[in-house]
Structure formats: structure tokens, C-alpha cells
Structure 1
């Protein structure tokens, strides 16, 4: 996963914006990992990144809108089967971090965004 970072204005850095602390982020990640361990307790995988295509279909179901979005991205970005599975697994992780049982459009959109950056910069 690659993320494009743009320059930040000094005013934004010096402002009074409240960001999440490292401890808060770590708690959120730990919670998402525990959700995954529970979800896959009876499987060979323990985390979303370890899902096989068969387990991905079982645990990363997409709604109609999400499937349509992924189909459009698949065609427009000329994604491979491997990329397709990576996007779905990353979407599942983003949903877990968001405490969401379902993969929603916003989770899928974020995952597609990361993958499109990979294609732009790395020709993956």
C-alpha cells in the first residue's frame, strides 16, 4: 500500500487541530486484530492479509453498490485477479478499523485509492 503525501502549510501544522494520539491508534489497531482473530478462529488464516481467495469470498462479502464500484475500478484500472483480492482484503481491514461488520463503499473506495496509487507509481 502506498499513500501520496502532499506538502502541508505551516498554518495547518501550527493550528489547534486535535489529532489522534499514537496510543489511541494502537488501541484501535489492537481491537481490529482481535476482531480478525475471533472471526477466523476456525480457519487457517488469523488476519485479513492471510485470506485465500476462497476465504475472501466467505468473509468479505460485498453489497450491490460495492460490487458495482469494484467492477468499475477493475475495468478502469485494468486490475489483475491478485489486485482484486488485495483490494477486498484491504477493504475488510479498513472496515475492521472502523468497527464495521460490513465492507461499505467508503472502505472499498479507500482501498481502491491506495491500489490506484500503486498502479500510477509502480506499474503494478
Structure 2
């Protein structure tokens, strides 16, 4: 099964009530019905089938925002590299690039937070099987 990797994905631990972000590896483990460890209480957490269906229904709203952020970073590297190598001699261009890069990333940060606010699933503690200790 192919797992969607969702930028800004968060989980809620039903054992300790902590919320924390998860990355690609943890998302893939959950889709494969394997547990992940809670960052708050160190419990092994699993996703119910209802939460799994909810997760698989999420889109990836932050993907395009991350591409814009990468573009701003690339612009900054090109301008600063050109200035460092002596190819560009305009201080105004460097100042404008700094302002656009920093301002753009500040705006993108708030947009990213708003776009990923709803991307959360509830995880339950894994119950031990017969014969396993807690």
C-alpha cells in the first residue's frame, strides 16, 4: 500500500493527551498498522481503522507552500552566491532579496500553520497481547 506523506501531520496521544508532529517514517509505520512511540509518555501508539480512513482522506495542503519556501531559499542562495563571487555588485539587490526571503518565510509560516491545523489523528495505546507484559 502506498502511503501519503503529509507535511504538517500531527497526532494526539489518547494516553497522555499530548499532541506532537510526525514525519514520513512514522506516517508510513501507522499506515502499515505498526505502532509508533509517544513523545510524551513513551507508550506504543496505534491508529484505529476509523482514524486510518480519516488519515488516508487527508490532502497535502502544505506541499505547495513548501515549494514556494524552497523557491525563496534558492533565490537567496543565487543572489548571495552571485554577490560573494563578485558577479553581482548591487547592495540594494541583496537587501531586497533578504527582505523578500525573510518576509516571505514569515508569511508562509503562518499560512502553513493555518493550512495544517486540521491534520491530526487520535492514536490509542497498544494493548498487550496474551502472554506479553506491559
Structure 1 or 2, whichever has the larger Rg, is 2
Q: Same fold (TM over 0.5)?
A: no
Normalised to the residue count of structure 2, the TM-score between the two structures is 0.25
The structure whose RCO (Cα within 8 Å, separation 6+) is larger is: 2
Report which of the two has the higher share of helix.
1
Report which of the two has the higher share of strand.
2
